[in-house]
């Protein structure tokens, strides 16, 4: 299963990508993060202790977490905001700690965390127009740091606002086939 | 309009954690006003306060390699409101991992926000190995010999309104050597597993949400 979580508050990019991937892969779930009631992580540490692996905040994330936990690939689609993701997408990412491995592993000589179980392939698609080279590389850097600490594989893409159909299809092909 | 104030904003949901402790350390020297980023509700008033300050210091934890969502929401709100002109902006981000690269995306975010909204980015401080302090003073940090003078130098930059270079925090902390890294990983993992067993959890079991679906 491929799970796409998108912020559609400024454009219907998530749906376009979901459709392109569906043409190549049977099971695609598309979540519109900006339409959900997702509360901020409170850093209560319950998910790494008392209620290991489970977040105790009762909101729409309780329906999203099982989808992420069981997926083969996770795709986050977001406008590029100051070189990162929008707050709608970041709220989802912050609450994903509950699916992380609380132990410490070594990768490339550094401590990393990893995901519980096998983990998933992790993609980010950033949308922006006339982004500076620095803002683009900052977005890619965030994804690279995420991959390192979560010990997962994947790629980040940056797309123009005009959502070139060929570019979307190429991204869909890469995500569906990996 | 006279804008003498220094506004110190804590972006952590914890009132007594490391982000707050670092701001209080600054506040003791610079004065100004310390506020906590409200975790829900309207951010209009806080954005107004930001516009009225001459210097803004944002201090927050590192969640998934950058600032928490609520901080990003504040920057988005401030950006769409507009009306900034030359306010000096400093940033602090602190995280658990003892590596500055793990957390430094947050500072780049702030710098891009400043550049796109007519604030003046004056530099920031990345504190690795900070989460374990959990509000205890900086003098208890594992790299205290270098970190304490470096952070106090950062405070002087804020006080004088001068730019604080990345080299200030980078030189004050270094990645532990490989053998120490392996030792720390083993010790911390053992602590985590002991805590999980206390609550009858198996650290190797599939995630709760996966088990629930079966």
Q: Do A141 and B105 touch (CB under 8 A)?
A: yes
Tens digits of residue pLDDT in B50-104:
999 999 999 999 999 999 999 999 999 999 999 999 999 999 999 999 999 999 9
Contact (Cβ atoms closer than 8 angstroms) between residue A170 and residue A133: no
Top residue of A1, A7, A42, A53 to mutate, by most chain B CBs within 10 Å, is A53
Q: Do B192 and A102 touch (CB under 8 A)?
A: yes
**C-alpha distances in Å from residue B183, one per residue of A105, A110, B49, B176, B196:** 11, 12, 46, 10, 20
For residue A163, pLDDT beyond 90 = no
* DSSP, residue by residue, A135-155: HHHHHHHHHHHHHHHHT----
**What's the complex ipTM?**
0.95
Tens digits of residue pLDDT in A139-158:
999 999 999 999 999 999 99
Q: Do A40 and B68 touch (CB under 8 A)?
A: yes
Tell me the average pLDDT across A87-108. 94
* Burial environment of residue A130 by CB neighbours within 10 A (0 to 12, 13 to 18, 19 or more): exposed
pLDDT, position B136: 93
Between positions 75 and 134 of A, the ones with CB within 8 A of B are 81-88, 90-91, 93-94, 96-97, 99, 101-106, 109-111, 116-117, 134
Distance (Å) from the alpha carbon of A129 to chain B's nearest alpha carbon: 14
Low-confidence ranges of chain B (pLDDT < 70): 1-4, 214
**For residues B195 and A67, what is the distance between their CA atoms, to the nearest angstrom?**
27
Q: Do B199 and A49 touch (CB under 8 A)?
A: yes
Paired residues of A125 in beta bridges: A77, A157
- Read off the pLDDT band of A110 (50, 70, 90): very high
Of A39, A83, A105, the CB nearest to B108: A83
Contact (Cβ atoms closer than 8 angstroms) between residue B93 and residue B106: yes
Name the residue among A73, A157, A57 with its Cα closest to residue A115.
A73
Name the residue among A154, A155, A153, A4 with its Cα closest to residue A78.
A4
What is the token pair recorded at A84? 């990162």
Tens digits of residue pLDDT in A25-63:
778 999 999 999 999 999 899 999 999 999 999 999 999
């Amino acid at each position: 299963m491929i799970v796409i979580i998108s912020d559609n508050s400024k454009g219907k990019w998530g749906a376009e990508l979901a459709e392109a991937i569906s043409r190549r892969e049977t099971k695609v779930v598309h979540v519109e993060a900006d339409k959900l009631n997702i509360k901020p992580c409170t850093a209560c540490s319950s998910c790494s202790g008392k209620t290991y692996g489970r977040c105790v905040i009762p909101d729409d994330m309780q329906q999203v977490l099982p989808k992420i936990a069981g997926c083969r690939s996770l795709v986050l689609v977001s406008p590029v905001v100051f070189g990162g993701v929008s707050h709608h997408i970041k709220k989802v990412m912050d609450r994903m700690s509950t699916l992380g491995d609380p132990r410490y592993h070594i990768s490339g000589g550094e401590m990393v965390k990893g995901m519980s179980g096998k983990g998933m392939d992790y993609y980010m698609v950033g949308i922006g127009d006339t982004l500076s080279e620095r803002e683009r590389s900052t977005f890619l850097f965030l994804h690279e740091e995420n991959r390192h600490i979560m010990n997962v594989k994947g790629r980040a893409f940056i797309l123009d606002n005009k959502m070139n159909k060929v570019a979307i299809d190429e991204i869909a092909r890469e995500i569906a086939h990996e | 309009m006279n804008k003498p104030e220094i506004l110190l904003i804590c972006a952590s949901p914890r009132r007594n954690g490391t982000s707050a402790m670092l701001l209080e350390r600054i506040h003791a020297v610079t004065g100004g006003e310390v506020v906590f980023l409200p975790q829900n509700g309207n951010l209009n008033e806080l954005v107004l306060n930001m516009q009225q300050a001459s210097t803004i210091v944002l201090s927050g934890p590192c969640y998934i390699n950058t600032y928490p969502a609520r901080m990003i929401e504040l920057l988005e709100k401030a950006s769409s409101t507009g009306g900034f002109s030359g306010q000096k902006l400093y940033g602090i981000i602190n995280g658990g991992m003892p590596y500055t690269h793990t957390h430094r995306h947050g500072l780049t975010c702030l710098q891009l926000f400043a550049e796109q909204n007519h604030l003046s980015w004056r530099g920031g401080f990345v504190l690795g190995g900070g989460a374990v302090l959990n509000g205890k003073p900086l003098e208890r940090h594992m790299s205290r010999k270098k970190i304490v003078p470096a952070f106090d130098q950062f405070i002087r930059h804020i006080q004088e309104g001068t730019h604080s270079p990345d080299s200030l925090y980078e030189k004050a902390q270094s990645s532990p050597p490989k053998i120490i890294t392996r030792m720390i990983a083993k010790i911390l993992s053992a602590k985590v597993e002991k805590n999980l067993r206390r609550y009858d959890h198996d650290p190797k079991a599939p995630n709760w949400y996966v088990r629930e679906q079966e």
